[in-house]
Amino acid sequence: MIKVSRGARYIAIEILCSWEERHLPLNQVMEQHLANMALRDPRDRQLIMSIVYGVIRWRGYLDWVVEKFSTHSLSMTDMKQPRWLSGFTNGILRSVDRKRPDLPHPLVAKNIDALPETALLSHPEWLIKRWKSRYGNAQAKSLCTKNNMPAPISLRVNTTVTTPSALLAILRKEGLNATAGKYCPLALKLEAYNGPITAIPGFADGLFQVQNEAAQLVSFLLGPLQPRKSYLDGCAGLGGKTSHLVQMLPSGSRLVAIEPNIVRIKKLKENLARLRQDTTVTIVEGMLGSLLPHNKDKFAGVLIDAPCSGLGVIRHNPDIRWNRSPDDLLRYQEKQIHLLQDAEQLVAPQGVLVYATCSTEPEENEEVIKKFLASYPLFTLSGCREQLPESATCLVDSQGFFRTLPGQDDLDGFFAARLIKSNEKLKMQNAK
């Protein structure tokens, strides 16, 4: 049995209040609170994460419970209100405890029909309605249900230093429930692992990168990479896809990774160093457009893993559902199109431009591609099927887009399109 530390509970409440007040990504708030904190018990970190993620994951249901037993509408920030609130809160908890045997619960069939959908599925009403309209009632409910379940950990094997079979053997020898991925040959999956990522065997030696299998497949779309060519990761972030591209890079080729955020650049460099890849990537701090005045050479391939709503990765980041609104989708779309407008100037003739998001929403996906192609006729849509492993070709739709849904064989929700830039002179000759 886990020993519950009063300190851990207090820290969890602090994190929840801070997240509610500051409207920052939950993982960022967690890191800020836990980075330099000496916990009483090594297991407290996992306990804090379980409490925080559980509360945010089931916020829709918890709000319903509070409203059912209270005449006041409360938010997390009310926790810092006057002393009367502690008594008021304890009163609600006592009432809930008395009624608990008859209280409907999303995971228990008894009286479940008494729950409104926003409580049963613990997602915002606008998102439930949107998914119902697009996917139908049954699949929309399935997406929400899967989002409320903790996800297994997916690893991408660093083939510059080991092999999938060798790492799988190491993990199993240490007693971990590890299996091979279903779609990507570099993927391994850890079930029911509750420890820190840094404690997974092989982490310190750079044998793997934590990365969902769907995200791993996106990097393949830039291929086949050619010897003595230049490639660009235009939105490097923490380096998940950057480090994968290093594994794919042929002899004599070079990879440039650009990222505007100095904190993420620090993490990017740390990740590449741990993976023993820090000497093979040129890192540029800045926006994608900052390359345009100085970069005379074009890239044979450009990957734009665009900033997006993140509605495809709610299972890993439960706070996203509460931090997004329908208006955000068009706001992201504007930024995404701007990124593609900059990227197209950096692609060499006959070069590849890959656009990807971790979003399920059309405004950020096929609508972006449609608008981009309408303005840039030199680019044509290339199907994604040929670049993917045979096991993953089923994830390409009839339009040639790579598309996965959250919870589908433990995949995150991803979208990707592969575009080819025509030779302008050849296109002009054909036009004549």
Tell me the CA distances in angstroms from 141 to 7, 106, 110, 136, 311, one per residue in order.
37, 12, 18, 9, 15
**How far, in Å, CA of 381 to CA of 384, rounded?**
9
DSSP at 150: P
Structure tokens at 196: 């820190």
| 184 counts as catalytic | no
Q: Dump strand ranges (E) for 221-368.
A: 230-233, 254-259, 281-285, 299-305, 347-357
Q: Tell me how long the chain is.
A: 432
Identify the helix (H) or strand (E) that includes residue 415: strand 415-421
Q: Which of 144, 184, 308, 358 is catalytic?
A: 358
CA 295 from chain centre, in angstroms, equals 30
Tell me the CA distances in angstroms from 98 to 74, 266, 374, one per residue in order.
21, 51, 62
**How far, in Å, CA of 369 to CA of 417, rounded?**
8
Identify the helix (H) or strand (E) that includes residue 154: strand 153-157
List alpha helices for 6-112, DSSP H.
Answer: 6-22, 26-34, 44-57, 59-69, 84-99
Which residue type is seen at 328? D
* Owner of token pair 């390359």: 291
Mutual orientation of helices 44-57 and 6-22 as an angle, nearest 10°? 40
* Owner of token pair 């619960």: 105
The phi and psi torsions of 19 (rounded to 5 degrees) equal: -60, -45
Contacts of 431 (CB under 8 A, 6+ apart): none
What is the maximal distance between C-alpha atoms in the chain?
Answer: 82
**How far, in Å, CA of 264 to CA of 255, rounded?**
18
Query: In the chain, what are the helix, strand and coil shares in percent, each to the nearest 5?
Result: 50, 15, 35
Q: Which positions are catalytic?
A: 358
